[in-house]
Each structure stands twice: as C-alpha cells, then as structure tokens.
Amino acid sequence: MGPPPVGQDGPMSSEVAVVTGVNSGIGRATAIHLASQRMTVFGTVRSVDKAAKLRTMAADAGVTVELVELDVADDESVARGFAQILERVEAVDLLVNNAGVGPIAVAEHCPTSLYLDTINVNLCGAVRGTQAVLPTMRARRRGCIVNIGSFTGKVPAAAQSPYVASKYALEGWTEGLAQELAPFGIRVALLEPGVTRTAIQAKNSEIRNDSGAYDTHYRRMFAFYLAGLAHGTDPFEVAAVVHEAYTTPNPTLRYVCSWGAAESIQGRARMSDADWVALGAIDDDAEYYARFEELLGLDIAPPPPT
C-alpha cells in the first residue's frame, strides 16, 4: 500500500474520498459528513473563492475538507483536478459524483443546447470523474463509486424535461457501470433522493413558457417542491446514506432517500402507463392534487390562502 497520504497538517487517513460539487446542498453535507467519519476528503468546486460557507461549516464540525478547483463539465479541468489529488494520495477509495444542475423547462420551450449542457454536467461529469479514478481502483481491485441521481430518474417530474432526461441517463449508465466493474471488486451505488433542502431549484428561476400554454405545469411542479420543502429533509440525511452505501457489508445498487422519493417511485411502478398519461390530462388543480395523492401517496395540494 505504501506510506499514508500526506496533507497540510501531517499524514492523512488511509481512506480517501472525493466529492464533486461541494459548495452547497448534498455535496457540502456529504463532504463534511465523510470527514467526520475520519476520511480524508477532497471536495471539488468550480471556484474556491465561493467556498466560504463550506469552510465555516467544516470548521464548526471540527473537520477539514481539502478543496480542489475543477469544473466537471470540462475534460481538461477534471483531468487537472484529479491529477492534483493523485499527486497527494495513492488512490481514491470513494468517489461521490454529486455535482449537478437542475434546470426548469418543458420540452416544447427547452432549447437543445440546454439538454446538452444539463447532460454534460449531470451525466458526463460523473463519467469524467469515474474515468479519472478507475485505473487505480482496478489496480487495487477495490473502491466505491456513488452517483447522486434523483427520484426523477424513475418518475418524470413536470416541467423539468432536461433534468429528467439527464437523471434517466444516469440511471442506465450507473446500472451498466455496476456490471462492468463487478469483476474488479469495485462497488457502484446510485442514490435516488427526493426533495432535500438544497439550492438546486432556487438557482434556476428562469421559466421557459414562450407560448404561455404551460402555466399549469409549472404551478403543479412548484406545488410538489413546496410540499417537499415544508418537510425539510436535511441534506445530511443523504450524506449518511452515501456513507452507508460505502461501508455496508450488504450493498445494493440503488438507495432511495429524502421526502417523496419512495412514494413517487413505488407509486409510479404500480401505475399503468394509461393512468400516468391521464394524470397529466386533468384540467382542474384540485382534482389533479387529489388524484396525485391517490396514485402516489403524497399530498402536494397548496394550503388554502389565509
């Protein structure tokens, strides 16, 4: 194995994790949680200058997250960033492909460039990080890759067409990857979180509704997320599931967590395709919310105005 990796403050833990996109939400919580489990954690950010909150939260938790500046959407940036990491450590034990974007758009008004940009981050970003760590994982015949997907990779959420497409793609890629890497002793896991307290939706305030025909779609989409946010699933709960996926002696391929994910995934699996399409055809909001709860087990109706 060689000597333990060396950090700024002396020898690092023998277990090394890399988490992409740690400036907010699930990525930040995961980096801090893994560091609290005595792992050496490298967190990737597009700009170190914007990592003040991460540094503060890590300090409050009494841990250190080593920051690496890279953009998962760029081949050369990822190569440079992981080269810096592998100059400091022998290998990466755990890669968490978390960095992602969540644009809001219906298919009619979503430019193809937005589909490509979203897939470049949410799918190809995971591919780039995985390709960077696999040679050393294969050589050691051990390691773990955890991809942060979404319940929308199983249940197409309204008015999020590019995001849904990217998460469906991540589902298929992860399932194939798990089989490809099984002969090398490398564990692959996919998390399918529901609604957590993250900024991913708040960062996408632009509504693409050029025709004005999709007000209902956006209204119902926001109702779903407002219902989820009211329950306030903490991103640290997702971080704990990441650690479980890495450490459990009885691993599975998929892990469902956070508000609404299990109900949505199980409800859609029970539904016929005809029922799914018919749900979208309901005109009246109250009827839609009642049918949504009947089929998916979630009350997303907005509270009456006061």
- For residue 295, being part of any structural domain is answered with no
- For residue 193, being part of any structural domain is answered with yes
Strands (E), the chain: 6-7, 10-11, 16-20, 40-45, 66-69, 94-97, 143-148, 186-193, 254-257
| SS3 assignment, position 30 | helix
Q: According to the model, what pLDDT value does residue 208 have?
A: 73
| Section 234-245 average pLDDT | 97
Q: According to the model, what pLDDT value does residue 209 have?
A: 73
- For residue 122, being part of any structural domain is answered with yes
- For residue 7, being part of any structural domain is answered with no
Is 163 labeled as catalytic in the residue annotation?
Answer: yes
- For residue 131, being part of any structural domain is answered with yes
- For residue 283, being part of any structural domain is answered with no
Q: Are 113 and 160 in contact (CB under 8 A)?
A: no
**What is the tens place of the pLDDT at every residue in 56-91?**
999 999 999 999 999 999 999 999 999 999 999 999
Sign of CA dihedral 203, 150, 28, 223: positive
CATH number at residue 233: 3.40.50.720
Which tops the pLDDT comparison, 52 or 9? 52
* 14: confidence class by pLDDT, cuts 50, 70, 90: confident
Q: What is the DSSP letter of 251?
A: -
| Section 243-249 average pLDDT | 98
- For residue 3, being part of any structural domain is answered with no
For residues 286 and 288, give the distance between their C-alpha atoms in angstroms, rounded to a whole number.
5
Number of domains in the chain: 1
- For residue 306, being part of any structural domain is answered with no
Q: Which amino acid is at 53?
A: K
- Single out the residue of 63, 13, 19 nearest to residue 39, CA to CA: 13
| Section 99-121 average pLDDT | 97
Catalytic residue among 163, 214, 225, 246, which? 163
Q: Which amino acid is at 95?
A: L
Residue-number span of the structural domain to which 165 is assigned: 14-273
